[in-house]
Amino acid sequence: MANCVQCGRKLPPFSFGRRKCQWCTDYEAAQRGEVSEESVQKVMPVPWTGIGSGGRTITQILAGINVAVFVAMAMAGVSLTEPTIQQILPWGANVGPWTLGGQWWRLITYMFVHSGIIHIAFNMWCLWDLGALCESLYGPWTYLALYFISGIAGGIASVGWHPGGVSVGASGAIFGLAGALIASFKLGEFSLPRTAISGVLRPLLLFVAINLIWGFASTLTDNAAHLGGLLSGAMIGALVARLAPDRRAMGKRVLVLGLAAAVVAGGWLWVVHMRL
């Protein structure tokens, strides 16, 4: 479905050849004096205008926690390049038998544990860019909920696919941010021209494609966590874009995030049932 090049609103289905919505067409006609003064233009919902506003507060906090945990691990003697499983287990790594055996909190802590300086450097670079974009688009609290729901979903997918494996890192949550942005930019109505949206969407798709391909080619990368985060983030991004783009509509946002959390919780119960 195409968008109006003037305001970003969705055009009706089968609008072949049209580039502007009816609202913009009527508005421009009124500006040119081509309609009577008694004519009243109907009110239409304003496209999403949140992109580009807001800071990096939550992104800075999340990155700061990740870095602080890594520094603490290094000071405790954990290797900076190739830490062993025995070294990262006490710090909250997502370990299938332990997580499924009752230590569910590892689905949260594993997001802040990294297996070496290259691992955390790449993840924090991605978080800094994608996180800032998400924070400006969704607002701080929706963004924070998106981050944790996606990260937890990635952890669940990891233990479901590799029940005996070990998973660490923020990449599941980061893939969730990418999935949410892709879904929102694809389905949302923005006040930006479609060319500007496409300029952001293409690099996101390329980022996801390259990293998934690399993950399937590498035996060290947990692509299950990537896919779990990606799909859960895309679900949240799509629901927010279609049902609650206005961050002031807190009731709708809470409903959307609650629904996403319920789906993820259902996935956890299913994995526990299947693996125990």
Concatenated DSSP letters of 97-153: HHHHTT-TTHHHHGGG--SSHHHHHHHHHHHHHHHHHHHHHH-HHHHHHHHHHHHHH
List 150, 167, 171, 232, catalytic entry: 171
Query: Cα Rg for the chain, rounded, in angstroms?
Result: 22
Q: Which two tokens stand for residue 68?
A: 């602080």
Active site residue 171: yes
Sign of CA pseudo-dihedral 215, 221, 224, 229 = negative
End-to-end, the C-alpha distance of the chain in Å comes to: 45
The CA distances from residue 172 to 155, 157, 229, 255, in Å, are: 7, 10, 5, 23
Q: Which two tokens stand for residue 232?
A: 């859960």
* Crossing angle of the two packed helices 250-275 and 223-243, in degrees rounded to 10: 150
Residue 193 has what DSSP assignment?
-
List 114, 115, 184, 226, catalytic entry: 226
- Distance CA(184)–CA(248), nearest Å, equals 17
Active site residue 226: yes
- Distance CA(196)–CA(34), nearest Å, equals 31
Q: Which two tokens stand for residue 88?
A: 């990262």
Q: Is 166 helix (H, G, I), strand (E, B) or coil?
A: strand
Token pair 């009816």 is at which residue?
Answer: 22
Instruction: List, by residue number, the catalytic residues.
Output: 171, 226
